Amino acid sequence: MTDLGLHSGGLRFAHGVGGSIADYIALMKPRVMSLVVFTALVGMALAPVQLHPVLAVIALICIAVGAGASGALNMWYDADIDACMQRTASRPIPRGYVAPEEALTFGTILAVGSVATLGLVINWMAAGLLAFTIAFYVLVYTMWLKRRTPQNIVIGGAAGAFPPMIGWAAATGSVSLESITLFLIIFLWTPPHFWALALYRTRDYARAGVPMLPVVAGQDETRKQIVIYAALLLPVGLAPTIVGLAGGLYAVVAMGLGGIFLALALAIYRTREGRAADHAARRLFAFSILYLFALFAALLIEYALGGLFGRTLA
Amino acid sequence: MSLAMNERPEEPGIVLTEEQKRRRRARSIAIALALGAFVIVIYLVTVVKLGPDVLRRPL
């Protein structure tokens, strides 16, 4: 069925097998898309200008498709790495279900289509930010930084932090301090999130030749960096309240969630041996996903309650 | 004439399996649905952007 095999030029992947619909959906990284759509929705909802609901839905679809395009282009370029790693070996290209050039074409069409539609239907500021995000993720993170530096996800993480700014820009046509605070939260959240994963997947990354921090600088240095970023994330999580984007209810939730995040980071720092160390890293990784969803959900819920009760919560 | 004699029309070429045909059909349907959805999106955007005033223009 597949033509997967090694040759002198590296990994060679199957051609012409033809993926199923599920394979093409998998190329778009649907779990990442869900986080992108949710954070973009929050950025859009909190903006001082409200989009027509139909236009808001179309803007979110464009942002989701743009994120999916990034995922497909990332899987096209990283197929050789994905084939070496346990976590990613079952992706459609390494399994031979989708040919690399099909993924490239699919991703390119989605990227161009989503940016053009967002620009023509909503505004060109949001479309420009979406285009920049896709280009940053594919060119800067995937092609340049990922295989070269342990700071790959620190800088590359910016790509994942843009969606709330795109949502905000879709509504207002501009970038502002408020939307930058949402960007900063995701930007500082990304390194400890991925380093927690890399701590219990270090051998996987080493085998694939990806210079993640635990591979290059060691696990102890990674633990220290996780604590530093978790400590920075706690006050930055409160930034929306400081700039007037959120109120007291959000501040309480952000303090609580940030405190748990920091406590789990400290647990990783203290627990360095055996299965307990792996367990601590897995716990922070799992919690970090919940953290981001809960933090942005708190923003949205407070905003909705403010609408119900005349914005007295702040 | 000699070129035609060298051709081997009896060769079947690439023959898709039933599974490959099923997947190709599913992809074709998905592309058709996506194009249909895009047409609906453009229609809705037109209605939202122009609003009801488009029907009240002077004759």
Whether the CB-CB separation of A285 and A197 falls below 8 Å is answered with yes
What pLDDT does B54 receive? Answer: 66
CA of A64, closest CA in chain B: separation in Å? 14
Nearest residue on chain A to B22, judged by CA atoms?
Answer: A20
Does B2 reside within a domain? Answer: no
Mean pLDDT of A18-35: 93
pLDDT of residue B59: 63
pLDDT of residue B13: 83
Number of other residues whose CB lies within 10 A of the CB of residue A203: 12
pLDDT at A175: 97
- Tell me, yes or no, whether B8 lies in a domain: no
Neighbours of A303 (CB within 10 A): 18
Residue of chain B whose alpha carbon sits nearest to that of A24 = B27
Instruction: Determine the pLDDT at residue B11.
Output: 76
Residues of B in contact with A17 (CB under 8 A): 20
Q: Are A165 and A182 in contact (CB under 8 A)?
A: yes
Give the predicted TM-score (pTM) of the model: 0.88
Q: What is the pLDDT of residues A53-110, one digit of tens each?
A: 999 999 999 999 999 999 999 999 999 999 999 999 999 999 999 999 999 999 999 9
d(CA A272, CA A275): 9
Q: Is the pLDDT of residue A263 over 90?
A: yes
Please report whether residue B1 resides in a domain: no
Q: Which residue of B has its CA nearest to A21?
A: B27
Using CB atoms, pick whichever of A19, A61, A121 lies closest to residue B23. A19
Highest mean pLDDT out of A85-89, A179-183, B2-6: A179-183
- A58–B41 CB contact, under 8 Å: yes
CA distance A118 to chain B (A): 11
Considering the domain boundaries, does residue B59 fall inside one? no
How confident is the model at residue B12, as a pLDDT?
Answer: 78
Q: Which carries the bigger pLDDT value, residue A167 or residue A273?
A: A167
- For A12, the 3-state DSSP assignment is strand
Residue B50, pLDDT score? 84
Distance from CA of A15 to the nearest CA of B (A): 12
Does the residue B11 lie in any domain? no
A179 vs B4 pLDDT, higher one: A179
Mean pLDDT of A131-142: 97
What's the domain count of chain B? 1
pLDDT of residue A155: 94
Predicted complex ipTM: 0.77
> Which residue in A18, A38, A25 sits closest to A71, CA to CA?
A25
B48 touches chain A (CB under 8 A): yes
Best mutation target, A2, A54, A62, A110, to test chain B (most B CBs within 10 A): A54
Q: How confident is the model at residue A14, as a pLDDT?
A: 52
Residue A205, pLDDT above cutoff 80: yes
> Which chain A residue's Cα is nearest to B25?
A20
Residues B24, A18: C-beta atoms closer than 8 Å: yes
Q: Considering CB atoms only, which of A18, A58, A117 is closest to B23? A: A18
Taking only Cα atoms into account, the Rg of chain B, rounded to an integer number of angstroms, comes to 25
Buried b (16+ CB within 10 A) or exposed e, A278-290: eebbeebbebbee
Mean pLDDT of chain A: 92
Query: How sure is the predictor about A1, in pLDDT bands with cuts at 50, 70 and 90?
Result: very low
Tell me which residue range forms the domain holding B34. Answer: 16-49
Could you tell me the two tokens for A215? Answer: 């591979």
Please say if the pLDDT value at position A303 is more than 70: yes
Is A18–B30 a contact, with Cβ atoms under 8 angstroms apart? no
pLDDT in tens, B18-58: 888 999 999 999 999 999 999 999 999 998 988 776 667 66
In chain A, which among 14-53 make CB contacts under 8 A with chain B?
A: 16-21, 24, 52
Q: Bigger pLDDT: A136 or B53? A: A136
Tell whether B43 is covered by a domain: yes
Q: Which of residues 119-178 of A touch B (CB under 8 A)?
A: 121
